[in-house]
């Protein structure tokens, strides 16, 4: 029996995610070229992301039979078991026989034929109880965090810290949101061409829905916007709505000198280039040359040539004589606000890494403040929902450098308000001290944090 293209692609991607530490979304983008049928692309994506999201619950169910951690099995065997069980549990349109048999074939394809009987036996047993709730198999008297961690497939340590800060109700909504397929949201770069661009995308067979928060946002389904003419000519980009808002918070004016300090892969730089205009200056810097090359290609696609790309280490002295009226520091972070989009993060992140990230982020922020012109504006942002990377970084930076202040909530809201759809209450996107926050399960976006700082004149 041959393995279908979709399952083979998903299997390859999952192996590389585990073995190489790559992101599934990047690997899928590379694998799903124009020669892959849309139905195969959709199933490969669903299998890959589904297995990554539900890995802990899948392993919990499998370990009832294996009597040892699934992670101790050979990687191809573990992946075939997870893929097979995911199909049995979550994909009702796939016949159980196909889910079982093709998982066995995947093991043989990976030259682990000796494990094929194990995979066959375990999945056939699982096929007999596909609709039995996982909760029925939980041991008695486990903690709330452990129970939610198994049933919603998150590490217990992560659930524990979220409950202590957010409460069980909010965390339950967050966990559920993290296991949903996020909306594929696009940014429209020329609002006056909205009708024309939308018509072109729909003509390519995609379904279009309005954005939830921004005038320039819309969501697509039923295909990939990357394959449309609108994407190729730079009319649109794929970007979460909260990510689209972050560069807007900087309030860049025509002619401003702007520094995008950790710029790659360049999703936020285009908004800065457009706002500063032909008389402005935008320097987009990053540590890695290969990421800057990808960013250059992105700017070329968008027809933007006003950004100067610089390879540098922002933890060291920067090679700039002049200061900048605007600085965006979208700092490297844990990414815990993007677990629906990048589910592999939940299995890679360790609690001790948050302290390491805090030190790096604080160092980067102090560098940025040092290059901010008097009266200038700085936006510090992350796609993390962890206080160590957000509030604690701001608190430390403001204690060290008294020349900057956090912008008040009313002032911050005025910057973002004009870009929002009618009826959206801008104050709901900011906390009482003016920091921008979104949380999956509460806003229809990834989880983002941003603070606007002003330097005294």
C-alpha separations of 131 from 24, 43, 86, 223, 405 in Å = 28, 21, 12, 30, 55
**Beta-carbon contacts of residue 140 (< 8 Å; ≥ 6 apart):** none
Mention every residue, 6+ apart, whose C-beta is less than 8 A from residue 366. 397, 400, 401
| Per-position DSSP letters for 213-241, written without gaps between them | SBTTEEEEESS-GGGSHHHHTTSEEE--H
91 DSSP assignment: -
Q: In whole angstroms, give the CA distance from residue 102 to residue 8.
A: 9
Which 8-state DSSP code applies to residue 68?
A: S
Q: Please give the structure tokens belonging to residue 113.
A: 């034929």
**Known catalytic membership, residue 262:** no
> Dihedral (C-alpha) 10, 14, 17, 18: value to the nearest 10 degrees?
-170
Cα separations in angstroms, 29 against 49, 337, 342, 366, 376: 13, 21, 13, 36, 39
**Measured between alpha carbons, how far is 158 from 155 in angstroms, rounded to an integer?**
5
Does residue 384 contact residue 249 with C-beta atoms inside 8 Å?
Answer: no
List the end-to-end C-alpha distance of the chain, in Å, as a whole number. 73
Q: Which of 186, 262, 333, 383 is catalytic?
A: 383
Active-site residues: which are they? Answer: 383
């Amino acid at each position: 029996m041959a393995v279908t293209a979709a399952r083979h692609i998903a299997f390859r991607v999952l192996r590389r995610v585990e073995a190489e530490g790559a992101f599934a979304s990047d690997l899928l983008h590379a694998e799903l070229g124009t020669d892959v049928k849309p139905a195969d692309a959709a199933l490969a994506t669903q299998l890959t992301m589904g297995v990554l999201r539900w890995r802990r619950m899948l392993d919990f169910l499998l370990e009832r039979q294996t009597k040892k951690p699934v992670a101790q099995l050979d990687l191809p065997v573990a992946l075939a078991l997870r893929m097979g069980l995911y199909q049995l549990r979550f994909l009702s349109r796939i016949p159980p026989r196909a889910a079982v048999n093709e998982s066995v074939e995947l093991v043989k394809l990976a030259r682990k034929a000796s494990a094929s009987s194990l995979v066959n036996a375990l999945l056939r047993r699982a096929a007999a109880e596909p609709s039995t709730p996982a909760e029925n198999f939980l041991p008695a008297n486990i903690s709330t965090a452990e129970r939610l961690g198994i049933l919603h497939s998150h590490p217990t340590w992560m659930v524990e810290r979220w409950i202590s800060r957010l409460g069980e109700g909010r965390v339950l909504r967050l966990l559920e949101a993290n296991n949903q397929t996020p909306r594929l949201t696009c940014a429209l770069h020329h609002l006056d061409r909205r009708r024309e661009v939308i018509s072109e995308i729909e003509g390519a067979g995609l379904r279009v829905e309005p954005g939830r928060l921004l005038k320039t946002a819309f969501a697509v389904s039923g295909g990939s916007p990357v394959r449309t003419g609108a994407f190729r000519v730079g009319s649109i980009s794929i970007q979460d709505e909260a990510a689209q808002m972050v560069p807007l918070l900087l309030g860049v004016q025509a002619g401003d000198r702007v520094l995008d300090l950790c710029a790659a892969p360049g999703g936020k730089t285009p908004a800065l280039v457009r706002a500063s205009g032909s008389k402005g200056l935008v320097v987009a810097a990053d540590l890695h040359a290969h990421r800057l090359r990808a960013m250059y290609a992105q700017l070329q696609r968008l027809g933007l040539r006003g950004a100067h790309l610089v390879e540098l280490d922002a933890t060291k002295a920067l090679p700039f004589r002049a200061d900048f009226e605007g600085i965006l520091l979208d700092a490297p972070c844990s990414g815990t606000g993007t677990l629906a989009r990048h589910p592999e993060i939940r299995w890679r992140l360790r609690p001790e890494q948050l302290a390491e990230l805090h030190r790096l982020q604080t160092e980067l922020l102090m560098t940025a403040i040092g290059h901010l012109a008097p009266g200038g504006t700085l936006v510090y942002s992350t796609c993390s929902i962890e206080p160590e990377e957000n509030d604690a970084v701001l608190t430390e930076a403001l204690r060290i450098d008294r020349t900057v202040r956090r912008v008040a909530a009313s002032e911050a809201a005025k910057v973002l308000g004009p870009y929002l759809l009618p009826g959206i209450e801008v104050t709901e996107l900011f906390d009482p001290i003016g920091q921008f926050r979104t949380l999956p399960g509460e806003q229809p976006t990834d989880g983002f944090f941003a603070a606007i700082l002003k330097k005294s004149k």
